[in-house]
Amino acid sequence: MKLARCAHEGVVWWGAVDGEVVTLLAPDSQISIGSWTAPSLKAAVLHPAGTALLEDVALLAPVSAPSKIICVGLNYRDHAIESGMSIPEIPMIFAKFPSSLVGPGAAIVLPEDSNEIDWEVELAVVIGSPARHVSESDALDFVLGYTVAVDVSARDLQISDGQFVRAKSYDTFCPVGPWLVTADELGDARGLGIGLTVNQETLQDSRTSELVFGVKEIIAFCSRVATLNPGDLILTGTPNGTGFGFKPPRYLNPGDEVTAWVEGIGELTNPVAVR
Ligand code: ZN
């Protein structure tokens, strides 16, 4: 199921997207993301609150206010090579502030502090139930679904700061959407096409089979560090084709349009604006 959050006639809804129609399941204010399970989704679809045309709703980020956004660095073989780094032996995790989250169509706002704002398309895991010290074999039981994210990154600050928090956490630096696809449709999300265009020019084009650490390994690893809560996002890393890998490097400019996509999920498009 394509599970979306969307605004329709002044109300934020959970909706199931099928083609051009959105089945309105329940108001977002009445259902927390941790309430969605395979049985509760099935029941909600059988007794919907209404329907709307996809073109008549405003899609929002499919999670709101996650307790954390965890990212995995250098997790595609081709991107590690592009970065001149060795392939990690354990997942290299870092965080983005949850306040960096925005939805489909929202502007990526370029901060004044950086001249090198880069793109990273990522497969994002949406956690469905609390996970702590889970095994790799159980890890997928804690996944509600998958969505598309862009890990917007200020490369100059990432280097000058010596760590990633500021460079990755400006407001609007985590576009996510257009919806999540429930885990029953994608399994561990291996072998999916993944890519990104800027102004319709293909810059990233790879497959999730290039992941160094897969979804199960990442969840098991992260759940040893912290409890993963419903609605938490894990961005699983980016393939090659980021701007700093070009010679000369290429970065985002005001007026650009970024479209990130993952096969089986959909396309996430965000304009680029200046503050
Ligand atoms: Zn990233």
* Mean pLDDT in residue range 132-153: 98
Alpha carbon of 17 to ligand 1 centroid (Å): 27
Q: Distance (Å, rounded) from C-alpha 99 to C-alpha 73? A: 20
Q: What is the residue extent of each domain of the chain?
A: 2-60, 69-274
Alpha carbon of 64 to ligand 1 centroid (Å): 20
pLDDT given at position 3:
98
Distances 134 to 70, 221, 232, 239 between C-alpha atoms, Å: 17, 8, 15, 27
HSE toward the beta carbon, residue 82, CA cutoff 13 A = 20
* Mean pLDDT in residue range 181-201: 96
Instruction: Answer whether residue 84 shows pLDDT above 90.
Output: no
Q: Distance (Å, rounded) from C-alpha 100 to C-alpha 37? A: 27
Percent of the chain with pLDDT over 90: 95
Question: Which tens digit of pLDDT belongs to each residue from 37-61?
Answer: 999 999 999 999 999 999 999 999 9
pLDDT given at position 82:
79
Alpha carbon of 240 to ligand 1 centroid (Å): 11
Q: Which tokens hold the place of 147?
A: 């969505």
pLDDT range class, residue 238, cuts 50, 70, 90: very high
Helix (H, G, I), strand (E, B) or coil at 219: helix
Which CATH superfamily hosts domain 69-274? Fumarylacetoacetase-like, C-terminal domain (3.90.850.10)
pLDDT given at position 31:
95
Cis amide prior to 111 (ω within 30 degrees): no
Beta bridge partners of 109: 273
Q: Which of 191, 189, 185 is nearest to 206 (CA)?
A: 191
Alpha carbon of 164 to ligand 1 centroid (Å): 10
Mean pLDDT of the chain: 96
* Mean pLDDT in residue range 29-39: 95
Question: Which tens digit of pLDDT belongs to each residue from 65-76?
Answer: 999 999 999 999
Q: Distance (Å, rounded) from C-alpha 174 to C-alpha 109? A: 11
Q: Which of 40, 15, 42 is nearest to 26 (CA)?
A: 15
pLDDT given at position 16:
98
pLDDT top residue among 18 and 83 = 18
pLDDT range class, residue 85, cuts 50, 70, 90: confident
Alpha carbon of 120 to ligand 1 centroid (Å): 6
The torsion angles phi and psi of 88, rounded to 5 degrees, stand at: -65, 150
Alpha carbon of 74 to ligand 1 centroid (Å): 8
Query: Which DSSP category does 45 fall into?
Result: H
Alpha carbon of 39 to ligand 1 centroid (Å): 33
Question: Which tens digit of pLDDT belongs to each residue from 95-116?
Answer: 999 999 999 999 999 999 999 9
